Amino acid sequence: MGKLISVNVGLPQNVQWRDKTVYTGIWKTPVEGPVTVRRLNIDGDGQGDLGGHGGEQRAVMVYQTESYDFWKKYLGRGDLVPGHFGENFTISGLPDDEVCIGDRYRIGEAEFEVTQPRVTCFRVGMRLNEPRMPNLLVSQRRPGFYFRVISEGQVRAGDDIVRTRRGRHALSVADVDALLYLPDRDLELLHKIIDVPALSPGWQQSFRDMLASPQGSASEPAAAIPAWAGFRPLRVTGVRRESPQVMSIELEAEDHSALPAPLAGQYLTVRIPGAGAPAPLRSYSLSGDPAAGRYRISVKREEHGLVSSWLHEHVEPGSVVEAAAPRGDFCLADGGGPVVLMSAGIGITPVLAMLHALAAAGSNRDIWWLHTTRNRETQAFATEVASLVESLPSARLSVFYTQTQGRLDRPAIAALGIPASATAYLCGPTQFMSDMRDALAAGGLAPERIHSELFGALPPINPGVVADTPRNAPHPPAGLPGTGPPITFARSGLTVTWSSAYGSILELAEACDVPTRFSCRSGVCHLCVTGVVAGRTAYVQQPLEPPEQGTVLICSAAPETELVLDL
């Protein structure tokens, strides 16, 4: 039998942290007397980031006094008191390696069910002033867990905790936490945990994704690993004008050998030594047949585009550019169902590569080719697309000219009769993709069937951080330049030098206002995983599970050499 030692609550507040404002409810303090526990929360309590905390599946956070004793010794801390780990219930007698997902407990007037381990986010490290904490909670197998409220009622410190039911398969919180975050997973346990109905839907989906991946993990498929490291020279063999503003450039290996086949939809990062100092980098989608043994990129001349202008004015057959291996996960998936290839303007390039792949395979899939452009003069690849569509037995071609027909909208999409079983690939301006995603969803396509490619930097994911509005453009960090190796954030078009004043590449990127993605900031969650285009890194804090080859967790790494990142 366990014991409820303390009930802790706290409402969200803005907290200043590392030049950021974080909206968080992780500061909890004990309350005296009875407290009512409700389906979504405890009276007087709240969470700042409802995407990762709170809600029905995570109504009550639980942590143990035994773990407090462990951390006091491990960290050499004498200041840890109930609520310090952001928990609502500080308890005794229910260790993580004995409590199981699906266990039910009676405490006071209420009944609870264990739904998942703690979410490992950076805020627990912020609260304890110990950045390693999310990593340590997992590696030391002491995460704590969440309760779902089965029946509401009052609880108070001193109440007994009585187990009323054991969870299906008796899988402990510690084992389930390790199954998500640590390597060498037991596939038998993976199959068991998705058979536990009490497990929260988010964790259920993560484990299903692991079972669906070739490696039995949440990592990207091995086929997406870049074909070579760093940059290699490629020679221009042909240049072709596709429209007044779009030019295609054919590239081949200097020794004329066949280049590795990209996945249909991937992009090529090129470095142009003659266009500036340092040599600027840009990424362009591959627009040709993936099986051709050579590459084709198609470049739209932008009014203030340094690289695009240089290429349009200077590149010719015999020119040499430096290219990193094709990369990107906006790729045509295998399958036999209907497929929609939808683009606007220069967004045509990756979906054109997909159309080439379908034509080369002689696909019998139902295919909708939908493209919008200003008018016939701006329409690139018109003859090429028409020929490819004609070669496919079940393909339909629709081109919309915004100058005369207006923008593509929901009624026009609905009139096409696209089935809900279709998989859609979208590329174009951000607003276009948002509108088309909404139109396809309104027509019955599930969100997971709609894929999109975004040129430039990916949107940031910074849970709990109160964002600046408008967001600053990427820039060199304040203060004196660093003396370490140069780091290029390729998607952001910025090169800066490394300084050991930063604890990680993530911290440098933040100082430059480069859009970043993170949650744990300590090598656990892999949300910050970033492609390494060129160069080497070293981990300042070892991640619990290394990411795929050719990538790095920037929250835990520093550069060893000159570095180019897909960020």
Domains of the chain: 2-212 (2.40.33.20), 231-327 (2.40.30.10), 339-453 (3.40.50.80), 485-565 (3.10.20.30)
pTM: 0.86
CA 73, 79, 85, 89: dihedral to nearest 10 degrees?
A: 100
CB proximity list for 150: less than 8 A, separation 6 or greater: 104, 110, 111, 112, 113
CA distances from 239 to 122, 134, 246, 316, 557 (A): 49, 52, 11, 6, 40
| Angle in degrees, 0-180, between the axes of helices 382-391 and 348-360, rounded to the nearest 10 | 30
For residue 459, the SS3 value is coil
CA dist 10 and 28 (Å) reads: 5
The sign of the torsion formed by the CA atoms of 197, 202, 205, 206 equals negative
CA dist 523 and 544 (Å) reads: 6
Q: What is the pLDDT along the chain (567 residues), one digit of tens a residue?
A: 899 999 999 999 999 998 889 999 999 999 999 999 999 999 999 998 887 788 999 999 999 999 999 999 999 999 999 999 999 999 999 999 999 999 999 999 999 999 999 988 999 999 999 999 999 999 999 999 999 999 999 999 999 999 999 999 999 999 999 999 999 899 999 999 999 999 999 999 999 989 987 554 444 444 467 888 889 999 999 999 999 999 999 999 999 999 999 999 999 999 988 788 778 888 999 999 999 999 999 999 988 888 899 999 999 999 999 999 999 889 999 888 999 999 999 999 999 999 999 999 999 999 999 999 999 999 999 999 999 999 999 999 999 999 988 888 899 899 999 999 999 999 999 899 999 999 999 999 999 999 998 777 778 888 888 877 677 889 999 988 889 999 999 988 899 999 999 999 999 999 999 999 999 999 999 999 999 999 999 999 999 999 988 899 999 999 999 999 999
CA dist 281 and 488 (Å) reads: 9
- The reported pLDDT for the residue numbered 72 is 97
